[in-house]
Amino acid sequence: MILDLVKVREDPGLGELAIKRNGRTVGEIKMQRIPAPGNWKIRFGDKELVVGETTRGTTDMIAAFQIETSGTSSGFCYQVHTGSLFNKYDIYELRYMSLSYNLYPVGPADCKALPIFYGNWQIASIESLDQTSKDIFRDAQILAEDEKAAYVALILFCYIRSNPQPLVSVTNKKLLGKIDRSFPDRIKI
């Protein structure tokens, strides 16, 4: 499944991206400029999700966001500092519908492709994230193996766009070894 995220509008209070599949709009992402609970709304398929800041979490969680589906809490998304003394890095974790997913900013320093994993299996990738641009509504593309993986990628996309700090590429050999180099070709078929 390939989803294109295309900027529809941007004004001082609200921004909007269309979610397109094969050129047809299949959903939308709306974002309020002022950080507040419920500042991202994702409508895709037959679901509507709200992703907003929360004060809940542990000291390991950085900038935790809560996910709600139909008004009920369905998970959390947060950043975690991990690694050893000389090899520290950040991972982005999503706990959604009782499952855990990870995004690792691995690879080239520009972080143009961000792989998303369920365990050791790559399920999605966020492509063309230009970290040099300050425009959080810039276009992007999501490659996902199915609709569930697409939801996971959409949530992590919103979380990363909400994070004021730029992504720092990880050069950890173990994490680099997890990347499925054939993933983009498999999805684009």
Residue ranges of alpha helices (H) inside the chain are: 147-162, 173-178, 183-188
Q: What pLDDT sits at residue 37?
A: 46
Q: Chain-centre distance of CA 90, in angstroms?
A: 14
Count of beta carbons in the 10 Å neighbourhood of residue 65: 26
Q: What is the residue type of 46?
A: D
Q: What pLDDT sits at residue 107?
A: 58
Span of 61-65, 128-132, 147-151 with lowest mean pLDDT: 128-132
> Average pLDDT for residues 123-152, to the nearest whole number?
78
At 152, give phi and psi (nearest 5°): -60, -45
Q: What pLDDT sits at residue 139?
A: 77
Instruction: Flag whether pLDDT at 88 surpasses 60.
Output: yes
Q: What is the residue type of 95?
A: R
Q: Is residue 21 helix, strand or coil?
A: strand
Instruction: Flag whether pLDDT at 133 surpasses 70.
Output: no
Nearest alpha carbon to residue 30 among 47, 61, 7: 7
Nearest alpha carbon to residue 147 among 47, 17, 38, 30: 47
Domain map of the chain by residue range?
52-188
Q: What pLDDT sits at residue 124?
A: 94
- Can you read off the two tokens belonging to residue 96? 């959604």
Nearest alpha carbon to residue 124 among 154, 100, 95: 154
Nearest alpha carbon to residue 175 among 96, 74, 107: 107
94: burial class by Cβ within 10 Å (0-12, 13-18, 19+)?
buried
Q: What pLDDT sits at residue 116?
A: 92
> Average pLDDT for residues 146-167, to the nearest whole number?
81
Between 86 and 109, where is the model more confident? 86
Count of beta carbons in the 10 Å neighbourhood of residue 170: 21
Tabulate helix, strand, coil % of the chain (nearest 5). Answer: 15, 50, 35
Q: What is the mean pLDDT of the chain?
A: 77
What is the tens place of the pLDDT at every residue in 96-106? 888 999 988 77
Q: What pLDDT sits at residue 4?
A: 92
For the chain, count helices (H), then strands (E).
3, 12
Q: Are 127 and 144 in contact (CB under 8 A)?
A: no
Between 126 and 78, where is the model more confident? 126
What is the tens place of the pLDDT at every residue in 113-122? 788 999 989 9
In this prediction the pTM is: 0.82
Q: Are 138 and 130 in contact (CB under 8 A)?
A: yes
What is the tens place of the pLDDT at every residue in 29-76? 888 755 554 478 888 888 888 777 665 555 455 667 778 787 788 888
Q: What pLDDT sits at residue 142?
A: 93
